[in-house]
Structure formats: C-alpha cells, structure tokens
Amino acid sequence: DAGVTQSPTHLIKTRGQQVTLRCSPISGHKSVSWYQQVLGQGPQFIFQYYEKEERGRGNFPDRFSARQFPNYSSELNVNALLLGDSALYLCASSLGLGLQPQHFGDGTRLSIL
C-alpha cells in the first residue's frame, strides 16, 4: 500500500516568491496535517485539515495557508517567501481526528535563496 506521498521532493525559490506543496494521504485516511522541520529541530505543527475544513493551526503567520480537496489530498501554500522559510515541509495523514496516530511522508525540501 502506498504511504503518504509528497511533491515535489525538492524546490528552490527566491525571496518574495510563492510556493505550493502537495500531499496525498494514505488511502482511507481523511485527515492531513502539515509540519515544518528546520535543520536540527523536531517538526513544528502548521495546520490540520479534516473533511476539507481547517481543524487546527499552529503558530505560523498568515503567509501560510492550506486546503484539502474532496479526495482528501492537500496543498500547502506559502506567500512572500523569506529566507527563514527554508525547511523540510512534512505532510502527515491519519484516519480521522482525535487520538489517531499520524503517518508522515518524506517531505519537500524547500530552499530559499
């Protein structure tokens, strides 16, 4: 069975640009969460979506937005990129809300020049 898939695997952008990252959850999983992992740190929670609605948001600026589609896939958008946005962006899926274990994809490595 396919796990969580993310695209692209790597991306290079310049300051001020906008970026869209994509995630397909494990088949049957209805919840998708996004995390940012900077080098040497653990992942930081950005968003959780369930049934196409935002159900949770971490401490990130409004430049970060996301959406979930009817097939439960998701996109993360980041506007007005800053150098500090350089990180590994991880997507995780779970069956639903509540205390369901989250399973991660291999992430998108975003580099800002």
Partner 1 sequence: GQQLNQSPQSMFIQEGEDVSMNCTSSSIFNTWLWYKQDPGEGPVLLIALYKAGELTSNGRLTAQFGITRKDSFLNISASIPSDVGIYFCAGQAWGGGADGLTFGKGTHLIIQP
The answer to whether 87 touches 10, Cβ cutoff 8 Å, is no
At its nearest, how many Å lie between partner 1 and the CB of residue 103?
Answer: 6
User: Which residue type sits at 58?
Assistant: G
The answer to whether 11 touches 81, Cβ cutoff 8 Å, is no
CB of 14 or CB of 63, closer to partner 1: 63
Mark the segment that binds partner 1 (CB under 8 A) among 11-19, 62-70, 73-81, 86-94: 86-94
**What are the Cα distances from residue 1, in Å, to 4, 8, 26, 62, 107?**
10, 20, 8, 35, 18
Q: How far apart are CA 6 and CA 105, in angstroms?
A: 6
Q: What does the per-residue mask of binding to partner 1 show for 53-72, with x meaning CB under 8 A?
A: --xxxxx-------------
Q: Number of residues interacting with partner 1: please give it, by CB under 8 A.
A: 30
Q: What does the per-residue mask of binding to partner 1 show for 17-56, with x meaning CB under 8 A?
A: --------------x-x-x----xxxxxx--x------xx
| CA angle centred on 52, ends 92 and 22, rounded to 5° | 45
* Positions that interact with partner 1 (CB under 8 A): 4, 31, 33, 35, 40-45, 48, 55-59, 90, 92, 94, 97-107
